[in-house]
Amino acid sequence: MKIILVAVNAKYIHSNLAVYSLKASAGACGDQVEVREYTINQHMDEILKDLYQKQPDVVAFSCYIWNRRITGELVRELPKLLPEVRLWAGGPEVSWDAPGFLKEYPEVTGVMCGEGEGIFSKLAACYIEGKGALSDIGGLVFREEDGRIRSTGPAEVLPVDELPFVYRDPELFRNRILYYESSRGCPFRCSYCLSSIEKTVRFRSLSLVKKELSVFLEAEVPQVKFVDRTFNMDPERAAELWRWLLEHDNKITNFHFEIGADLITEEQLEIMSRMRPGLIKLEIGVQSTNPDTIRLVRRRMDPARLREVVEQIRSFHNIHQHLDLIAGLPGEDLKSFRRSFDEVFALKPHELQLGFLKVLKGSGMYRQAAEYGLVFHEEPPYEVLRTDWLSYGDLLVLKGVEEMVEVYYNSHQFAKTLEQMLKRYESPFDFFHELAVYYESRGLDRISHSRMARYEILRRFLEEKGWTASAFDQCMVYDLYARENLKSRPAFAADLSPYRRQLRAYERDYGKKVHVEVFLYENMPCYVLFDYERRDPLTRDAHVEVLH
């Protein structure tokens, strides 16, 4: 008997914690359970070929919004090749309406609903060891032999400390992002999130968490991403773990946390201030600064405290901050979103993600869709198309802004240039919108551009506005060399021939693994060194210093 757990990830670098946790929970049956990971970019036939060659008896799919479509295709096609195979599914994308999923896909035997570790251990024993019957396993919705769909009721929830640790051998996950879970559930009830369905928050004991994190530290894993919905919901627990990470820092591993910034305490800030640059990365969901919108989505947030904390953390210069906004929330029109964007942009996050509302089936927002005039895609990822506050045209405006923010801000490739350009705009949103319109009006939004081409486009944009592009050329040259030692100088870079003698002297002193550029400051040459051996751990820019 062979059971295969299938995960179709968004990217190769991702790993699927769920399927590895299910395999680890199978206990004595684990030797007959195999994990196969694919990506949404692989051809269907490639995945079918791999599964066919494995000749499984049972295949269980891990279903999320990013892989729901390809999973549906796989469950349609796989039985044509393996007529005797039993197909199962689990995950948030199918468990919210398991009977509906089974009716849509008659090829599937059943769905695991809820937390899967306890359910799968019994399901595996049922198939592999012949122990019990499907009807004896809580948490299943399955198709009986006569075709009727049966539910066995909710499964017993396992204590979090009994959940398996799946990374006994981190080498198996080399060059992958590792995901770790120290708690389950969320204290908030935001209507756009499926976590709001969970009624409790359960914690893994800190002694066990520290023991498991030690495995990552000893293996010098590059990045560990906590999947806890709000890591710092328990302030004392968060402070203790962050203090422990500070004391056990291996100078290599980075830890990513999703937090509520307004919940951060002074004790936690003091601990953060002493951390190695790059030790932790924080993801902070702002979503909107419109108080009416925050109220309508049932989100609890203190905006003033959030701003205060983000600004204080930024002053430490050691922690990467990723801030999120969601377009399409109820109560927020284009004018309101522009204000939310500008207020969050003013906090100078290292990354600003402009996301779009996903009306997830099973969420409170899904049940309120008619009330808010939410029109959205019927297929995953169920992204909003229009609301009572935003037309489809408005959302297209925001799509353009999103693309320009990704290219020109989140990439960190234009930092000095943007800093100077935005001084001429009252609203950062207006700048990104204007640039997006420029791209679209010239068909540039439909073309893949090199990094250098992005600079040239920006220069033409400035010239067409009647601004002198050369006023920004030094900023662009700085940005270019901050990222890499260019093999050929851009056409708009200054002529270095008058400074050759001094540049050769610097080359003798510093070697060829650096670049020394000349900038004119008050008509006097200023020599700036870009050291690519020493990079900023937060932005990956070269270390920069002015030479005297």
Query: Got the DSSP string for 206-228?
Result: HHHHHHHHHHHHHHT-SEEEE--
Confidence at residue 196, expressed as pLDDT on a 0 to 100 scale: 59
The whole-number pLDDT of residue 176 equals 86
Contact between residue 112 and residue 139 where contact means Cβ atoms under 8 Å apart: yes
b/e sequence 76-114, b meaning 16+ C-beta within 10 Å: eebbeebeebbbbbbbbbbbbbbeebbeebebbbbbbbb
CA distances, 390 to each of 236, 360, 396, 399 (Å): 41, 19, 10, 13
Q: Please name which of 100, 103, 104, 105 lies closest in space to residue 87, comparing C-alpha atoms.
A: 105
Give the C-alpha separation, 417 to 500, whole Å: 26
Q: Alpha carbon of 41 to those of 11, 76, 515: distances in Å?
A: 8, 18, 38
Query: Whole-number mean pLDDT of the chain?
Result: 95
Among residues of the chain, what percentage have pLDDT more than 90? 90
d(CA 2, CA 34): 8
The answer to whether 403 touches 454, Cβ cutoff 8 Å, is no
Q: Which of 295, 352, 303, 355 is nearest to 328 (CA)?
A: 355
Place of tokens 């090199």: 450
The helix or strand, by DSSP H or E, that contains position 89, with its residue range, turns out to be strand 86-90
* CA dist., res. 374 & res. 370, Å (int): 6
User: With 0-12 CB in 10 A as exposed, 13-18 as middle and 19+ as buried, what is 543?
Assistant: middle
Is the pTM higher than 0.95? no
Of the candidates 339, 382, 346, the one whose C-alpha atom is nearest the C-alpha of residue 363 is: 382
- pLDDT value of residue 521: 85
Residues of the chain with pLDDT under 50: none
* C-alpha–C-alpha distance, residues 157 and 119, integer Å: 9
Lookup: tokens for 389: 């506050």
Spatial contact of 542 and 530, defined as CB atoms under 8 Å apart: yes
- What pLDDT sits at residue 477? 96
